[in-house]
Amino acid sequence: MIKVDQLTKSFGKIKAVNGISFNINKGEIYGLLGPNGAGKSTTINMLSSLFKPDSGTIHLNNTDLFSETNSCKKIIGIVPQEISLYDELSAEENLFFFGKIYGIPTKKLKNKIHDLLEFIGLSGRKKDAIKTYSGGMKRRINIAAALLHEPKILFLDEPTVGVDPQSRNRIFEIVERLKSEGLTIIYTTHYMEEVERLCDRIAIIDEGKIVGQGTLEELKKMIGEKEIVELDFATSDKEKIEELKTILPFEAEITNNKLAIKCDKNKDLKEVLNLVSKLNLSIADIDFVAPNLERVFLHLTGKELRD
Ligand SMILES: Nc1ncnc2c1ncn2[C@@H]1O[C@H](COP(=O)(O)OP(=O)(O)OP(=O)(O)O)[C@@H](O)[C@H]1O
Ligand SMILES: [Mg+2]
């Protein structure tokens, strides 16, 4: 349904997107997970024809986006990262306005607005001005606006940023229902819990590149099945921590004062602790972490995903 090949886009010296390729099947939710500035919005903006790439190709439903932009635009809905609604107008008026831009006939549009307001759970507030809405409610109206023309593909760019927990759950339910109706969805976020819950496949994106992609299981396999034992040291004695890493018979990674060791906590911990005391290192904290996307991200980029 979506085929992206070797996309690149620079802004001056910044390579915002640097050779991204992926294929998304009909009905899939594909997650773009990455930290601030990774290139998620730039990718979405190219896919929705707002930006032209410097190089690379985009096909939507087997159609070249840049040679047949108008027909492609009909099948895509965009929920941009920045909320774009008219504050003084009501929810209903906003949706009417956007529907008219798409050229939807009035009667059909009114029915559609009614259905969508029900769908996003905001029928009761439809007459209120957008300026009286919470961030999460505005976000839901933005989603409705993107669905007015019944697109086949939906781009959601960080739809839960600045959203209260209740609206967040509501947005998850909306996305899950849209999937069940057969929409193909790209979902960008820097929250790993969201892609873990919603996405069929995930691309981990950093500095304009996809550093890993696959299902959650496939990505977790990249760091192995084992639990991680994370030792936080009281000292920042980098040399000793390095030394410990080299003498440990297990795979390990260092970040700041922490050493993340891939081993069996029931079987191997004693051996680890023996080596720690041999080097006169003292432990400030110890944690056991099941493989998760945060770990995968760290493994692939050497950086923490969290801000
Ligand atoms: N219009 C622009 N002009 C100049 N630089 C830009 C522009 N848009 C994006 N960039 C730069 O391109 C890089 C990627 O930005 P992008 O907005 O795609 O990241 P992102 O992954 O969406 O980040 P965030 O999570 O903060 O939304 C950043 O370094 C950013 O500063
Ligand atoms: Mg962004």
Quote the tokens at residue 22: 């992926």
- Pairing of β 153-157 and β 76-79: parallel
- The answer to whether 2-220 and 226-290 have equal CATH topology is no
| Cα 44 to averaged position of ligand 2 atoms, centre (Å) | 9
Find the 207 Cα to ligand 2 centroid distance in Å: 12
Q: What is the pLDDT of residue 226?
A: 72
- Residues of the chain predicted below pLDDT 70: 225, 306-307
Which tens digit of pLDDT belongs to each residue from 50-104? Answer: 999 999 999 999 999 999 999 999 999 999 999 889 999 999 999 999 999 999 9
User: What integer pLDDT is reported at residue 225 of this predicted model?
Assistant: 67
**How many Å lie between the centroid of ligand 2 and the Cα of residue 160?**
12
Looking at domain 2-220, its CATH class is alpha beta
Q: What is the model's pTM? A: 0.85
How far apart (Å, rounded) are the C-alpha atoms in residues 173 and 188? 16
Q: Which ranges constitute the DSSP H helices of 18-164?
A: 40-47, 69-74, 91-101, 106-119, 135-147
pLDDT for 166: 86
Give the integer Cα–Cα distance in Å for 184 and 160. Answer: 19
Relative to the CA of 32, which ligand 1 atom is closest? Answer: 21
Q: Break the chain into its structural domains and give their ranges.
A: 2-220, 226-290
Residue 292 confidence (pLDDT): 84
Nearest CA to ligand 1 atom 7: 11
Backbone angles phi and psi of 264, in degrees to 5? -90, 115
Question: Ligand 1 within 6 A of 167 CB?
Answer: no
> What pLDDT shows up at residue 162?
86
Provide CATH code, domain 226-290: 3.30.70.980
Nearest residue by C-alpha to atom 27 in ligand 1: 36
**pLDDT score recorded for residue 307:** 56
Query: CA of 4: how far to CAs of 29, 34, 58, 85, 133, in Å?
Result: 15, 18, 5, 30, 36
CB 34 less than 6 A from any atom of ligand 1: yes
